[in-house]
Structures are given as C-alpha cells and as structure tokens.
Structure 1
Amino acid sequence: METLILCIDRDDDLGVKANVRGPVIGREANVEAAVRLATADPEDSDANTIFGGIKVLDDLAAKGVDAELVTLAGDKNIGIISDQKIANQLDALLKNIRFESAIFISDGAEDETLLPIVQSRIKINSVKRIVVMQSANLESTYYIIKHAFNDPKISQTFFVPLGLASLIYAFFLMIDYPQGAIIGILAAVGLYMLYRGFGDPISVYGERIKDSFHSGRMTFLTYLAAFLILVLATVLGLARVWELYTREGIWYYGVVPLATVFINTTVWLYVSAFLIADVGKIIDCYRSRVSTFRYIIPAFFVISMGLLFWGASTYLMSISTVIGGSSIDPAVGVQYFVYSIVAAIVIALVGIKVSTSVRMEENQTLKGSNNADT
C-alpha cells in the first residue's frame, strides 16, 4: 500500500458517542462511523475530520494513488492512556499493512500533539487541518461560551473548583466559623489542582491497580495497605500539629517548628507505606520471573531518606524553645542527627551492593538460559 490517510480521535468520541471501536479501516467503515458520530453529536469535529479524510482518499483514488483510510481512537482519559492506545493501534496496523508514507488529517492542535508519535513510526508527507466554516451569528461570543461550557473537558475544569469553593464556604458559614472557609477552600482547590496536574500518572496508577485486582496480584493488597498507612500518617501528623496550633496558635510556634513536628510524626509511617508497596512489586516480579533489582535500591534509599528526615527533625525539635526542648536534650539531638547521617550512608551503600549482586546473578541466569537454548 502506497499511502496511509490517518485520522485520529484522541478522546474516543467514536466509542463514547457512537459506540464504534477503533481502529476503523477502509472507506465504507469510515463513512459509517462518521455518519453514526454525526448523528449522535452533529457538533463533534471528529466527524468532519473523518469526512475530510474520505475526501482526500477519493481525490487520491481519482489520481490513481493506492491509498487506505484509517481512523484511530484513543481514550476519554486524554493523555498517557489515550496516546498509548493510539500508539498500540498504529503499531498493529503497520505490522499487518505496509505503507510508504502517510497523510495526517487533523481537526486542531490537540490531535497534532500526536504527530511525533506517528512520525516515529511512518513518514508523514502532508498534514491537512479540517476547519469547519460557520455562519457569522454562530460565531458570536455567547455561542462560543455556551458550547465551551457544554464540553465536559472544559466544564469540569472550570466548574468543579467553583463548586467546591462554594460548598465549603457555605458549610463553614453554617457552622458559624467563616475563618475556616479560607483554609478549606485553599486546601480543596489545591488538591484539585494537584489532581489535574498529576491526572495522567493518577489515571495510569488507577489502571494498574484495577489490572492487579483482576489478575490477582499482590500489589493490589500492598498498594491498598500503603494508601491506608499514608492516610493514617497524614491524619496523625495533622492532629499533632492541630493540637499545638489550638494550644498557643501558629504565631507562637511558627511555621517551621510545626512543619518539623509533622515530619517527625509521620516520616516512618510514610517510609513503611513505600516499603509495603515495594514488597508487593518485588513479590509479583518474582512470581512472574521478572527482574527485581530495580525495586531493591529504592527501598534502601527510602529508608536512608527516612533516617535523614527523622534525625534532622529530631535535632530541630531538641533546639526549639517552644517544642520538644524540655524533653529532648540538644546534645542528644545532635547525636541522633549525626548517627542518622552515618546510618543513612551505610544503608544506601548496602542497597547498592545488594542490587548489584542481584543484577549480576540475574544476568548470569539469563546468559545460562540463552546458552542452553542455543
């Protein structure tokens, strides 16, 4: 086959709205898919993109060029998950059908972010953007804003923070504590922004946890236990800080001492959570006969980091005049800090040694199995 005409539905509107699974191969299949999508949502631009690909296919066929039209569909979780699905579909397509070059059909900048993925697998000779022409009255500001808010991707980003802020403010007004509304609103909006910022990794981890549950892997239980420990550690740390805050107030203790108390209270629980999750990975890798050495060094380094944070926070508490100073002698605090640094270095070196030994043993085992096969 000479030319691949490639259309991409990154957010899988074909599957969500028209119940059409990608990839869609061939002119007739794409015509049917575009009609079903346009019928389900006449305003979806992906339907116009497919029709644009059909026109390009017909023009090439009239010139005697051997071409094929293919539409790839991603996932509603735009980002790593959707791009991986598109890449897998493209790899399977190019494995079964050989194309010399491709024409990329796009409806905007979002689809064109996938150009590097496509270019790494096949040469692209042309990029054609499909622009839908509308009448002047439909291009008014009201129409644009109205339809933007009807788009789930935009409305979720815009309305969710406002809704959270309104609910939190109403709750604190109801309990007659308006000062807490500021703290609650900032915390909720901050968490939401972190979730949006780390949305792709969170989605990937969610898919991994779901897969580990259905496949009966140990990581499901260890991840769940680690999550519960993280929540418990955070609650305990915040409770300790809140106890000090309500006793004298933040202006008496200061931000740094309160942060030191939080770290000293939670550090070993956080370390335990990571180690439990890491043990689950090691067990699953061992059961699957997959290399485990890359999970060994992080465990030792996390313990080393825990020692450093614990030693530093203990020393800071010992020299503080408002927290811990009466119960922890500064000389003892210095000793704890120095000992923690030495122990952290020793544990890190042990981790490197153990990981190197495991890697060498696994490489020797792999070489032995290869020699036996030959």
Structure 2
Amino acid sequence: MSTLVVCVDRDGGIDHETPVVGWETIRGLVTEIGIDDPEDSRVNCLLEALRVGRDLRDSGETAIVAVVSGGGEGVNSDRAVAEQVDELVDAHDPSSAIVVTDSANDERLVPIIESRVQVDAVDRVIVRQSHDIQSTYYLLKQFLGDEELRGTVLVPIGAGMLAFPLLLLLADSVAVAMASIAAVIGLFLLYKGLGIDDLVSTLPSRARTAFYSGQVSLVTYVVGAGLALIGVFAGGINAAGMSAESELLVAVRFLFDSVPWLAAAALAAATGRLIDELLAEQPVSTALMNLPFGVVAIGLVVRGFSGYLLERAGVFEPFVVPSFEAGPVAVEGFAVSIWGRLAIYIVAGVVVSLLGVVFTSQMNDAGERG
C-alpha cells in the first residue's frame, strides 16, 4: 500500500522542473527556496509534505513525496498539473493520495487530482502568525478577480464616494446628498439584481432576430409601446388639470385615465407573443394563453376601483344610463350607484378571467387530441 503525498503549487513559483519526487530531493528544494525567500509560504508547504511523508513511513506505509507546479492561473496551468499527476500515477501507481496546499487557490486543483487517484485528505498549511492575514488576502484576491461581483459592488461604492462631495456642494445638505446616493445605488442594485442588465444586453440581438424572422410580436411590441406612451400622457394631462389638494387623488386620477391604454398595450404585446407561439406549431404554455385575458381582467378591476375612489371623493358625478327605446322596449334613464358601478367592473373582470380559463382549457384539449 503506497500513498502519494503531493504538494501543489498552482502559481508556478517553484523555479525547478516538476514534478519533483523523493524525500531527499524535496528537502534540498526546501533549502534552496528558503534561502532565496525565507518568507515564501511554499517553504512551509514543502516542509509539511516532508513531515506527512515521514509520519506515514514511521507507521509502516510506503510514502511517495512529490511536488507538482503549474504556470500561474488558467487552463494551461491546470492542464500542466494534470499531466504531472498522470506522470506520478503512471510511475508509482499509488493507492491513495494526500494533498498538501498553502492557499485556497491551490485547493482548486484537488478535483483534478481526485479524478486520477483517490484523495484521502487535504492538508492546508497556514503560518500561525499570519492566519487571519493570509485568509483575508486570498478572500480579497478572489473577490477582486470576479469581474461581475467587482462591478456590482465596487462600481456603485466608488461612484457614490465621488458623487457625495459634489452633491454636498450643490445641495448644501448632508441628508439630501445621502438620500440621493442611496436612491441611485438602490436603483443600480435593483437593475443588477432583477437581471435587467441581461435583458438590455440581449435586447438588440433579440430584436434583430425577430425582425429577420418576421415575428408578429415585433410589431405588437412597438404598438404596445406606443399605447403605453399614450396612456402615460393621457393620465398625466388629466391628473395635471385637477385642482384637488390631495396628491393621492391626483395619482388615482392618473391611474384611472392611463389604465385602459396600459392594458391595451399589454394586451397587444401578449397577443403578438401568443400568435408567434401558435404559428411556430409548438406547445404553448398555459400561462401565455391566459395572459391576454388576465391583462384585460386586471385592467377592468383597477379601472373600477380607481373610479370608485374618484366618485367617492366627488371628482366624478354618478354614472347615468340614458333612456333609450328599442322597438317595443323602452328604458328610462337611471343613475348607477357607486357600489353598482364598482360591482360591474369587478364582475366584468371575473367574467373575462373565466373566459381565459375556458379558452386555455379548450386549446389544451385540442392540442392533446391533435
């Protein structure tokens, strides 16, 4: 039974042809590296490999002490270590291995060694006097090496530190400066956290693909954007013309006037997406088929509640149904109560939602039969 005690150096700082095999050879290598740089942590790693090999020999096992080294970070370095491990396994055929490292960076090579020989233990060597310093150093190094994490954390912090003195000079108020920076950082984190950046980055390619493939949704998305813009302007114009003192009523009036347009925009976009899926002759998800009905139902309910609040506040007069005649049928005009008006919108929303459920069910049944 033989055990391979392998000291791993991913950074490639050992100025010697690797793999280095043999207890005496490695002891000489320790002296050479220690004289060149006594503060090098590799000295402790090599000494630990020698100690483990000695303990195994004292317990009656056959220990092969070796050192493998890469050429820095990256694929080429890891492949160099893999080739050296293959060479050791072919030459000595060990039954197991003990990996000795001096950093978290070197421990990334453990899976490579495990794929070639059974690893019984991983021995990480950290000098006692610098345990916290070294651990912190490698943690910061790994953090700074992650481009995405670095951009998400360091960029808003740096921008905030630069903007703070400028805002302080312009606003002459610490509270305003801090609130502005917090709002911008919050928006940035939401932008990253919700994946909006990924959506924005892929939007041009998706639009180009949709344009060349002749998808209906490309046109309906443009129509939806136009309807949404009209809704915002319509709601803003009517809300700006109110003389109400309550800001809440202004917001409700904006919602009341813009909801039909916004619902129509969402309906156009959802309908175009649904048509594309149907034309593709692929299974359409239940949620996508039910989406247009859900958009209309939500729009009706929101319109009903906002109208109820405005009528309750005296902004709107009660809705009056004019009198009309249709042949022998004559209906006198009457006013719909505030609760009746709300109930009509809610019932209409529920009915549209139920129609969506029926439509989705029939489409699914037709798809199963087909």
Give the TM-score taking structure 1 as reference length. 0.51
Aligned length in residues:
261
Distance 2:74 2:227 in 1: 46
Aligned match of 1:218: 216
Distance 2:237 2:122 in 1: 56
Code of the aligned partner of 1:327: F
Which residue, 345, 349, 368 being the options, matches 1:344?
349
Shift of 1:54: 5.1
Aligned match of 2:308: 315
Write 1 or 2 for the structure with the bigger share of helix. 1
Q: Secondary structure at the match of 2:317?
A: coil
Distance 1:168 1:235 in 2: 34
Deviations 1:7-65 (A, max 9, x none): xxxxxxxxxxxxxxxxxxxxxxxxxxx98xx6xxx5x5777665565566556656879
Larger radius of gyration: 2
Shift of 1:343: 0.6
Shift of 1:318: 1.6
- Runs of 5+ in structure 1 lacking a partner? 1-33, 66-104, 112-124, 366-374
Distance 1:275 1:358 in 2: 19
CA contact (8 A) 1:317 1:328 kept: no
Aligned match of 2:262: 270
Distance 1:153 1:170 in 2: 27
CA contact (8 A) 1:169 1:185 kept: no
Distance 1:275 1:129 in 2: 59
Code of the aligned partner of 1:193: L
- Whether 1:355 aligns to 2:350 is no
Deviations 1:217-238 (A, max 9, x none): 3334434544565566557657
Shift of 1:158: 2.4
CA contact (8 A) 2:297 2:350 kept: yes
User: CA 1:136/1:293 → structure 2, altered by over 3 Å: closer, same or farther?
Assistant: closer
What does 1:199-238 align with in structure 2 at a 5 Å threshold?
199=195, 203=198, 207=202, 210-211=205-206, 213-214=208-209, 215-216=212-213, 217-227=215-225, 229-230=227-228, 233=231
Code of the aligned partner of 1:282: L
Deviations 1:245-301 (A, max 9, x none): xx77xxx525x5454334324322332232222222223223322234632211111
- In angstroms, what is the RMSD of aligned CA positions? 5.0
Aligned match of 1:280: 272
Give the TM-score taking structure 2 as reference length. 0.52
Shift of 1:311: 0.6
CA contact (8 A) 1:264 1:313 kept: yes
Shift of 1:133: 7.8
Shift of 1:159: 3.7
Aligned match of 2:291: 298
Aligned match of 1:117: none
CA contact (8 A) 2:310 2:316 kept: no
User: CA 1:340/1:51 → structure 2, altered by over 3 Å: closer, same or farther?
Assistant: farther
Distance 2:255 2:188 in 1: 23
CA contact (8 A) 2:171 2:177 kept: no
- Runs of 5+ in structure 2 lacking a partner? 1-68, 95-105, 112-117, 320-335
Distance 2:225 2:120 in 1: 46
